[in-house]
Amino acid sequence: MYVPDFRFRRLRRTQTLRSLVQETHLQSTDFVLPIFVEEDIREPVVVASMPGVFRYPEDQLAQRVKAAWSAGVRAVILFGVSTHKDDCGSDSWSEQGLMARMLRTAKEAAPDMLVISDNCFCEYTEHGHCGMVAGDDVDNDKTLSNLQRQVVVAARAGADMIAPSGMMDGMIGAIREALDGAGFSHIPVMSYSTKFASAFYGPFRDAVDSTFKGTRASYQMNPANGREALAESMLDEAEGADLLMVKPGMAYLDVLANIRQNSSLPLAVYQVSGEYAMIKASAAAGVIDEKAVAMESLLAFKRAGADLIITYYALEAIEWLSQKHE
């Protein structure tokens, strides 16, 4: 009879032993909760493919942020769905615009909550692109000037962190210059540094009621490219990003692990709408155990190197973690 030399199973015998040698752990401060606010609605609107996710009227934002704080959430990222759209997204850099109002409301509701501003234009432009369109494409450098105005307004409104998601070249350098010039050198920038042109964003487009029918492939990354994925994040680090991000998550763990090996900055991952929707739908169909699969997916992000996880599961994950210790 063959007898193995080494026995991994020795350390797997009991739950206590297994937890003592567990390499990665989830905790409530790992999570960032996305919140959607829509102008001109009176009641929350459920996002059809994302059970548990709503677009909230502006006057319910304070309550949502307070409830999240009480539930243990320590960071939120705010998305606005504007009804004041134009060709360049100017509402997003108006002091009285939706983005500024959301940030002021959230900070006032829970002053200790880390309030992150998602800085993009797609929810503020008529055409739905993440910047200024010139000809048949998004004009990178004109978009950067608008982004500079937008982030200064966001910082003035109280944003604790700026998170540009538009994938324009040079966006981190431009933002850093604008923030520093306006007296916000203390405000960190979390770059959506490696963001792919992904089909997993489908339900988000539903969530923000996007009329967008085109493609973002001329600015977001090709899902096929791993080397370029690293280069994108490394350049953002060189431009002054304080945190890097990979988006989406589950299909891009190799990218996450590669950036983790090449940077010492904190690293975030975005478990996007399609990932959430797939878990919810298969749980509803009775084919998987929702809690087990969701928590396994979140743990995998930590193992691959993420420090922060932006996820629609934030509230449930914190609740599930607390049950574990009861």
* Binding site listing for Mg(2+): 232
Give the one residue of 31, 54, 124, 201 binding ligand PBG; rule: CB under 6 A: 201
Query: Considering only residues 40-99, where is the footprint of ligand PBG by CB under 6 A?
Result: none
- Convert 62-73 to b/e letters by CB count within 10 Å (16 or more is b): eebbeebbeebb
Instruction: Give dist(CA 160, CA 92) in Å, integer.
Output: 17
Contact 54, 81 (CB under 8 A): no
Least distance from ligand PBG to the Cβ atom of residue 37, Å: 14
**Which of these segments, 10-18, 41-49, 109-117, 197-205, binds ligand PBG (CB under 6 A)?**
197-205
Give the one residue of 81, 100, 102, 122 binding ligand PBG; rule: CB under 6 A: 122
Q: Which is nearer to ligand PBG, 120 or 304 (CB)?
A: 120
Q: Is 120 in the site for ligand PBG (CB under 6 A)?
A: yes
Instruction: Give dist(CA 129, CA 210) in Å, integer.
Output: 10
Least distance from ligand PBG to the Cβ atom of residue 96, Å: 22
**Which of these segments, 16-24, 154-162, 198-206, 254-262, binds ligand PBG (CB under 6 A)?**
198-206
Q: Is 247 a catalytic residue?
A: yes
Instruction: Give dist(CA 191, CA 235) in Å, integer.
Output: 11
Instruction: Give dist(CA 107, CA 41) in Å, integer.
Output: 22
Binding residues for Zn(2+): 120, 122, 130
Q: Which is nearer to ligand PBG, 184 or 204 (CB)?
A: 204
List, as one string, the DSSP characters of 142-180: HHHHHHHHHHHHHHHTT-SEEEE-S--TTHHHHHHHHHH
Annotated catalytic residue: which of 66, 107, 142, 195?
195
Q: Is 204 in the site for ligand PBG (CB under 6 A)?
A: yes
Instruction: Give dist(CA 29, CA 75) in Å, integer.
Output: 8
Contact 76, 35 (CB under 8 A): yes
Q: Is 273 in the site for ligand PBG (CB under 6 A)?
A: yes
Give the one residue of 165, 193, 233, 258 binding ligand PBG; rule: CB under 6 A: 165
Q: Is 195 a catalytic residue?
A: yes
Q: Which residues are catalytic?
A: 195, 247
